[in-house]
Every structure is written in structure tokens, then in C-alpha cells.
Structure 1
Amino acid sequence: MKLAILKNSKKSTWRFLGLFILLFSVISLASCSRDDDPADNDFFAGTYNGSISYYDGSTTNSQDNGKVFVTKVGSGNKYNFSFSDGISDLNGIEFKKEGDNSLISIGSSATSYIRIDNDDLKILYIADGKTWTANCTR
């Protein structure tokens, strides 16, 4: 009789432990915020692939299969853009949140514009007689 009680006690303990782990897992997954706005995170950091170009006033470098590596600088709203294929980098570009899940560069105009959203990077940036463009996706 003692042996049967001991076996049932071990089964109950394992069942309780399994139920506890399952419940903990479900609660942990459910508590992840679905309303977490990527514009508030480092979500935009990473590599974007697509067409890129650079014009320095005399020479054009254009690539259909280029890359732009985006990194967030510190905890602020500034980003760096490192281009592949020998294209000069853009550093310290400041952004503001626009709408849901997107960033747009501060001081954007018809001739200078950088926009990042969930999957796309669009750049038309003109400064000091130089022009950078990108039409990239992740």
C-alpha cells in the first residue's frame, strides 16, 4: 500500500511540474507586447539589399545588388548608413517617428529624404554636392 501511494505521489509531482512549465510558457509568450512599435526600438538596424548609388560631383557609382548596413548610434534617434561597393557612408542622420512603424529623417525635403519602415529603406540624400540613393528591402 505504501508503494502504491509513493508511485501516485511521484506521478502527481511530475504532472504538476509539467502543468506548471506549460502554464509558465503560455503566460510568457502571451505577455510579449504585440503593440511594441518598431520605431521605438533598434528594429531598423540591420542589412538592407537592393539598388544603391552615389554621385560625388564627378563620378557615379551605381549597384543593382548593393547593401546598406544600418546601425543605431547610442540611445538617441541617430543612425549610420554603411554602403557596400565603396560608396561613402552617411553618419549621424537624425530621425523622428512618423505614423506607425516608420522613421523619417529630420529635415527631409524634396531633395533629401530617408525613410525606414518594417521592410524597406528609401534614400535620396543630397549634401555638399554629393548624392546618395537607395531602394532596398530586407
Structure 2
Amino acid sequence: MKKTIKILGLFALICFMISTLSSCSNDDDPTNNDFFAGTYKGSVSYTDDSTTVTKDNGSVFVTKIASGTKYNFAFSDGIPDLNGIEFEKQGDHTLIMIGSNGTSYIRIDNNELKIFYTKDGRTWTANCTR
């Protein structure tokens, strides 16, 4: 009986893992999901008064917060995160930062992330793909 329970438990775990891995796709579109989490890879940089970080092989982990319009951006390589950035949907598959202007711009879709964001003398940039 214990052996049967172990086998069934292992089978359930394998089924869960397969369904979890197959549901994570680069085709997920941040504009169409209530919850979104994805990693974009490419060049990232950060500059402030005393620090400059530039990486050609960096990454940005993007998560959509429960509000549905706010996103968090977790940068690699010790670059400070950007949190609570608000977006609006533009077209079918593109999000544009609310309040975009000549000095701050973030654009995200299912394949590409572009960031040029300045705040309080600090600058974040990213040119990444998934």
C-alpha cells in the first residue's frame, strides 16, 4: 500500500511539473495576462552620481502586479529595481509607460523590452528580448 501511494505521489508530481513547464512560454503576452512574469535578456545599464554599471549580457525580470497596470522590473548585476511603474495598453500587444516623455520611456511586449528611465539623477536603460 505504501509503495502504491509513493508511486501515485511521484506520478502526480511529474504531471504537475510537466503542466507547469509547458504553461511557461515566451509567447505569453504581458498585455493579455492578469499576472505576468518573464525574463528579458540583453544589454542593461544603470548610472547615478557614484555608480555606473553596464552589461551586454544582463537581464530584467518583469512582473505584473495585482493591480493589472503596474509592473516591477528586477535588474541583474546589482542594478536597483524599478517598482510600481504604471502602463497603458497601446495596440494589441504593446504596453507604454504612463507619463512617457523625452527623458523616461519604457515599452514592453511579448518579445521585447526597451527602457530609458531617469529619476532623481539616476538612469536605467535596457534593450532586451525574450
How far off is 1:113 after superposition? Answer: 0.3
Q: Report how many aligned residue pairs link the two structures.
A: 102
Q: Which has the higher contact order (CA 8 A, sep 6+)?
A: 2
Q: Which runs of 4+ in 1 moved over 3 A?
A: none
Letter paired with 1:68: V
Matching of residues 25-40 of structure 1 within 5 Å: 39-40=31-32
**Aligned partners of 1:61, 1:44: CA distance in 2, in Å?**
27
Higher-Rg member (1/2)? 1
TM-score by length of 2: 0.74
The code of the aligned residue for 1:129 comes to G
**Separation of aligned partners in 1, 2:41 and 2:30:** 19
For residues 84-115 of structure 1, the C-alpha deviation after alignment (integer angstroms, 9 at most, x for no partner) is 00000000000000112010110001110000
TM-score, normalisation: structure 1 = 0.69
Q: How does 1:114-129 map to 2 (within 5 A)?
A: 114-129=106-121
Structure 2 contact 44–58 (Cα < 8 Å) conserved: yes
- TM-superposed CA distance for 1:117, in Å, is 1.2
Partners in 1 of 2:38 and 2:84 — Cα distance? 16
Deviation for aligned residue 1:59? 1.9
Kept after mapping to 2: 8 A contact 1:52/1:67: yes
| Gapped regions of structure 1 (runs ≥ 5) | 1-36
Percent identity at matched positions? Answer: 73
Residues in 1 aligned to 2:124 and 2:80: alpha-carbon distance in whole angstroms: 9
Output the CA distance in 2 between the equivalents of 1:43 and 1:73: 7
The 3 A distance-change label for structure 1 pair 90 and 51 is same
Match runs of 1:1-138 below 5 Å: 39-42=31-34, 45-138=37-130
Any conservation in 2 of the 1:73–1:79 contact (CA below 8 Å)?
A: yes
Gaps of 5+ in 2: 1-28
CA-to-partner distance for each residue in 1:42-85, whole Å, 9 max, x for gaps? 57520000000000123210000001000111132000000000
Supply the RMSD in Å over aligned alpha carbons.
1.5
